[in-house]
């Protein structure tokens, strides 16, 4: 739910994400002179696709009036406007809540999880078919994972440049423990996030749909890169064969779905002598370039990592996984 105060004429009040039923419920607060009507419009790509409301207001309503209006057929990215027919006043605030109460930025993941047991193959371009949506993970005694807070999810991705690899640097026995305790629990505290996670058994979990930004490696790396956390016992331990196979599959999907070239992104050299040497080896082995320009890695395309994209230059995903990145570009399963 989000409030947007004092909107101007035809200025966006909210971006709405539709739930599985394609409905969103919102409340409009305000009041006006006798005979004034409250109008609700839905815009899609700058065009009005529906208009409703038309509820007559009177002077006794000012300041404490509210109106529930349900629009059907909404799609992600639709914009809702509240205004009056006389053009003299605009709604003081607008709150948007999806029909099922799911967070608007997380509606694809939530609706996928709701049907996962009976229909595990998603129909959206922004969901990896071989992943499990994190709300579908269940522990026999602890139940489902805690929901990912909306502060962990950014705005819409304008484009996808590639896939950035991270590591959890902490042991987790399975996908549930990785997701619940090495991802969501930490992220809900610090506001970080990633689109995907790969557990030690190779299971891929999806946290954020690929049309939204994950707070994975700061800007400019967040703006156009998808991200994946690989579960490993310690910072410098590498992927096992199952994880490497899953990372290959995930990267191939990113390339095919978003037109990303199957290549290594530009490697960053600077600040960490040990990481620099391995970065040079990885890029030499794959024909990729290296740079000391802090903006160049984020402007490249392909397969990258936290260390190359983050302005803080964290030593993530560690030496083990960094050294395995060339194998992700090779065809065939890992033996």
Question: pLDDT tens digits, residue range 48-91?
Answer: 888 876 666 554 444 434 455 666 777 666 666 666 666 544 44
Domains and CATH numbers, the chain: 14-98 (2.60.40), 105-328 (3.40.80.10)
Q: Helix 241-258 to helix 318-328 angle, to the nearest 10 degrees?
A: 60
pLDDT tens-digit series, residues 212-223: 999 999 889 999
Across 93-127, b (16+ Cβ under 10 Å) vs e yields: bbbbbbbeebbbbbbbbbbbbbebeeeeebeeebb
Q: What is the pLDDT of residue 38?
A: 66
DSSP, collapsed to helix, strand or coil, labels residue 12 as coil
Task: Choose between 39 and 205: higher pLDDT.
Answer: 205
Residue 24 has pLDDT above 80, yes or no: no
Model's pTM, two decimal places?
A: 0.72
pLDDT beyond 60 at 296? yes
pLDDT at 80: 67
Q: To which H or E segment does residue 277 belong?
A: helix 273-286
CB hemisphere CA count around 167 (13 angstroms): 27
């Amino acid at each position: 739910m989000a409030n947007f105060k004092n909107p101007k004429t035809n200025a966006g009040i909210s971006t709405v994400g539709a739930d599985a039923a394609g409905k969103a419920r919102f409340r409009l607060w305000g009041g006006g002179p006798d005979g004034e009507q409250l109008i609700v419009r839905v815009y899609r790509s700058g065009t009005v696709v529906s208009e409703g409301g038309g509820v007559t207001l009177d002077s006794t309503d000012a300041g404490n009036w509210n109106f529930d209006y349900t629009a059907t057929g909404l799609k992600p990215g639709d914009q809702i406007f509240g205004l009056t027919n006389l053009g003299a006043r605009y709604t003081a605030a607008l709150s948007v809540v999806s029909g099922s109460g799911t967070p608007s930025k997380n509606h694809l993941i939530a609706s996928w999880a709701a049907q996962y047991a009976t229909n595990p193959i998603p129909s959206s371009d922004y969901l990896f078919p071989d992943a499990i949506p994190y709300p579908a993970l269940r522990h026999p005694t602890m139940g489902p994972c805690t929901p990912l807070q909306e502060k962990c999810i950014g705005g819409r991705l304008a484009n996808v440049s590639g896939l950035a690899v991270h590591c959890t640097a902490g042991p987790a026995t399975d996908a549930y423990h990785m997701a619940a305790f090495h991802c969501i629990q930490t992220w809900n505290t610090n506001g970080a996030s990633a689109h995907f996670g790969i557990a030690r058994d190779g299971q891929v979990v999806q946290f954020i749909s690929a049309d939204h930004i994950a707070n994975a490696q700061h800007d400019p790396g967040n703006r156009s890169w998808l991200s994946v956390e690989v579960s490993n016992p310690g910072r410098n331990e590498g992927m096992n064969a199952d994880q490497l196979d899953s990372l290959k599959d995930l990267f191939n999907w990113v390339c095919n779905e978003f037109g990303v070239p199957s290549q290594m992104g530009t490697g960053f050299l600077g600040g960490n002598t040990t990481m620099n040497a391995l970065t040079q080896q990885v890029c030499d082995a794959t024909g990729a370039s290296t740079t000391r320009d802090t903006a160049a890695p984020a402007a490249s395309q392909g397969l990258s990592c936290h260390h190359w994209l983050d302005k803080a230059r964290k030593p993530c995903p560690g030496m083990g996984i960094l050294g395995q990145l060339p194998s992700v570009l090779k065809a065939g399963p890992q033996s």
